[in-house]
Structure 1
């Protein structure tokens, strides 16, 4: 992405009730020289009559983050932002007018059979050496950022039982194991009443199998099941890794005489694993051991201007350090896929990107929906007219590195570098699938604000706007809005984020979601039938 072009006048405009505060000069941001729209930076928007040095005068009020026409756009004409067509005007839009959602139609998505494939592969970055963090090294070589006992369930029927058991474990066992950070349940609404052998059932089953092996859990897999479910508990144990105790507690086992005995069995198995996890210690690890997920939610028009480009610069630093970074959300990539397939490291990776886009196109079509179901009402209030504009801002998280691999939903990462992990755009489903793919820390950008968090890994929250960062000062970890006001560059915020990731991964700093204990439930992606 090119550097933003910031237009501002020196003096304040004439006093009007909806205008910017005295001394807050009206400003817009234009991202590319070919753009015929810019977004308003000022917190309360700008009123009709606001004038800019280039002669642009607003003909109506334009809210913060929303687009103003820099030139007259005729009906049927292209609306350009990011140097790309983000809409088709449904009526004449005069210069200085608000390019409001109802005035713009969604363009056609790029054809998947006419893309450039690995034609502009970025050169490997200069190695970034000397950066380390304090992590938990696992026997398989992976490194966690937390030391957690995770307990899986094979069926939703036992989720309540596990909740009771975890409360009991935390009260009676966990205080004896001070080196263990937490005990979490990998609960879900799957396991029975489902078409377990349907082709797409591979996605939720693979996700559950992969979740249990996240590096933050130290390899100590444990499953609580019922006994009559379709998803047999043993399927959630790593192949050949079953412990001496079998790794499974079934409520229906005949040896259990009452609920208290079932709880005792869970407690005994948990205690054995806590003993092992308590021996884990942080050790100095190179930044190449990082596995970081990138996600955005509650996005606005600033997402692609401030936070996401800063995440992209940080992603480039992680890749240069030899680490792994994932970006996701198929529907928020689909309309920018033509910018990504040329960056694939080889034609096979480019073809895998196309495969995941095509799969999701078909998935939406079968549900009689399409990509226009995204964005949300809040995204639109934040200035995003349609999914095309949202996608172009979303892919800024991917930075500039070559895309080294593509993961289908729930697949575990095996490559280093920049990875596309295919997921839906839902915050909760995406977070669950990224955990399954192996992230040990997540960075989450937001413009509208969200209390999103994960118990299974730290989540660093980055605000797109300074107003949000100030208003949610005890929920936001990093303010990227300084880029829009000119108080920081994309590179400076990206480097600050990189250092914050190292501190959080080392346990030296806690993000706000961890400090509050503010966590969302896991949510499986299950495109298979429910019987």
Structure 2
């Protein structure tokens, strides 16, 4: 992607574009002249679009070389173009979409890059060493939060190689149609979260005892070993039920959980970082609080870093179905096979049907903040979002809550919600996440490091202690997409090694898990 930047006043992405976005901080005032001869007819905020040519009602509005909508009214050259003047087009039809037609770009293998990670018995590599305590039902979440506070204050200081203890609380487990076909999504999500490489295979399960989702459903790849409140308690116990009649009072339950936790901490404390090739990275790419700069600064730089990770033999996943759907025609040709291309279309069709059942459609996206940041509709948002996937071939498609299966670039189907997407990428097995934002968000996950990349320098300066990398330098001409892409790649290696702490971890800014549950609630 080339960027035509004129005196730091506007960015026109593609030669076919009939709009450009305003770069200058604070926007541009009425009467400002641009280098191409366009004079602004009104003040236009930073990140918002200006018409570079007259656009008649019904004519296409073009950005990224693609039609993002049609003019809802006559638009004069120099006018402000926003959501009120852009009519949402129909979504691309899924039938007869070109599949696996683009040959993979020539790219040399990237060798010699490493990070210091925690190797696991199953072959995966963690970037953190965390004790995870999951639950089989929301009923026990208060207890889990209580014991986590106790473990952090009383036990964790004795185990210096363990980074953290995390409660994997959720809102599922009972009062749900657990045998409904769509219930497989939250169930496999919870199961696969416990297999995340940053937990080292030492996840504990706290249950109540009477819930529909029994702990055995969360540990199908591991033996279920029940904690018994006796002197001969199993040292490898990984499941404790509060309703076990051997417990007398809340204090007894807590003592049992602390006892079980200490045995798991002892095992985790024996883990040591060791040098691992960059091919062991499993990176989730996500955006939230996006603006019009997302698709020209942060996301292209992330896409460049995506290609570097893939060239190094690593794994990258991109997600957010509703922010892919309107650009799907640009992705299906990149599939490595017609089967992978069809799997992309199947996920789009499934989500179309899901929204229709809920009497909603894709026009519910973008958010008010996205629009204030210059994004007019979901088509424009999608075209900027998919750039995170770089140019690598798409090797696989996984459904919500499934684990990543192949090295390379994978589309992991998720909703666009930041919290649900993060939860599902965690279940897929990411050991690090990169999160781009233009409007700003304190989002973070305690289970994996989250590198936050600002799309504009104004945000990076205003949120100087929350943002990890400023990609806005691309818009001002102080750095190229390649510069920031390499900078991000090296930052990923440093963070994965524990050499650098992301802002969210330094400040303790962590979001709760949010399950995607398309099944009925009883």
Please give the TM-score of this superposition, normalised by the length of structure 2: 0.97
Query: C-alpha offsets along residues 130-185 of structure 1, whole Å, 9 cap, x if unaligned?
Result: 00000000001100000000011000000001011111111111111110000001
CA distance in 2, matches of 1:297, 1:125: 30
Equivalent residue for 1:46?
Answer: 28
Aligned residue for 2:507? 516
Q: Where does the alignment leave 5 or more consecutive residues of structure 1 unmatched?
A: 9-25
Q: Which of 10, 23, 30 does residue 12 from structure 2 map onto?
A: 30
Structure 2: runs of 5 or more not aligned: 226-233
Q: 2:61 is paired with a residue of what secondary structure?
A: strand
1:240 to partner: Cα distance: 4.2
Aligned to 1:93: 75
Kindly provide the CA deviation profile for residues 381-401 of structure 1, in whole angstroms up to 9, marking residues without a partner as x. Answer: 000000000000000100000
Choose 45-54 or 93-102, whichever is displaced more: 45-54
Contact 1:145 1:457 in 2 (8 A): yes
Structure 2 residue corresponding to 1:72, chosen from 54, 61, 67: 54
Please show how residues 153-302 of structure 1 align to structure 2 within 5 Å.
Answer: 153-243=135-225, 245-302=236-293
SS in 2 for 1:325: strand
1:324 equivalent in structure 2: 315
**Does the 8 Å contact 2:82/2:375 carry over to 1?**
no
- Name the residue aligned to 1:7: 6
Q: CA–CA distance in 2 between the matches of 1:7 and 1:492?
A: 20
Whether 1:388 aligns to 2:379 is: yes
Q: Normalising by the residue count of structure 1, what TM-score does the alignment of the two structures yield?
A: 0.96
Match of 1:402 in 2: 393
Superposition CA RMSD, Å: 0.9
Q: Deviations over 1:196-227 (max 9, x none)?
A: 00000000000000000000000112100000
What's the CA shift for 1:269?
1.1
Deviation at 1:123, TM superposition (A): 3.6
CA contact (8 A) 1:451 1:518 kept: yes
* Structure 1 residue 235, shift from structure 2 partner: 1.0
The whole-number CA distance in structure 2 between the counterparts of 1:284 and 1:204 is: 35
Partner residue, 2:405: 414
Contact 1:124 1:401 in 2 (8 A): no
Q: 343, 348, 353: which one pairs with 2:334? A: 343
Q: Which whole-Å deviations, capped at 9, do the CAs of 1:99-130 have from their partners, x for residues lacking one? A: 12111111111100021000113146210000
Name 1:444's counterpart in structure 2: 435
Aligned residue number for residue 376 of structure 1: 367
Per the alignment, residue 469 of structure 1 pairs with 460
- Residue 246 of structure 1 and its aligned partner are, at CA, apart by 4.3
How far apart, in 2, do the equivalents of 1:53 and 1:338 lie?
A: 34
1:268 and 1:250 mapped to 2: Cα distance? 14
- Which of the residues 396, 420, 426 maps onto 1:435? 426
Residue 242 of structure 1: how far off its partner (Å): 3.3
Q: How many angstroms apart in 2 are the aligned matches of 1:449 and 1:57?
A: 31
Say whether the 8 Å CA contact 2:288–2:418 is kept in structure 1: yes
Deviations along 1:389-438, one digit per CA (max 9) or x if unpaired, are 00000001000000011110010112000010000000000000000000
SS in 1 for 2:102: coil
Task: Report the CA distance between 1:53 and its aligned residue.
Answer: 2.9
Could you tell me which of 296, 299, 302 is aligned with 1:308? 299
1:466-505 aligned within 5 A: 466-505=457-496
- Classify the secondary structure of the residue corresponding to 1:406: strand
2:105 and 2:391 in contact (8 A); partners too = no
Q: Distance in 2 between matches of 1:284 and 1:101?
A: 50
CA distance in 2, matches of 1:73, 1:136: 57
Check conservation: 2:237, 2:260, Cα contact below 8 A.
Answer: no
Is 1:530 the counterpart of 2:512? The answer is: no
- Looking at structure 1, the residues matched to 346 and 480 of structure 2 have their Cα atoms a distance apart, in angstroms, of 36
Within 1, Cα distance between the matches of 2:439 and 2:119?
A: 37
Confirm or deny: 8 A CA contact 2:28 2:44 kept in the other structure: yes
Please, which of 83, 91, 98 is the counterpart of residue 116 of structure 1?
A: 98
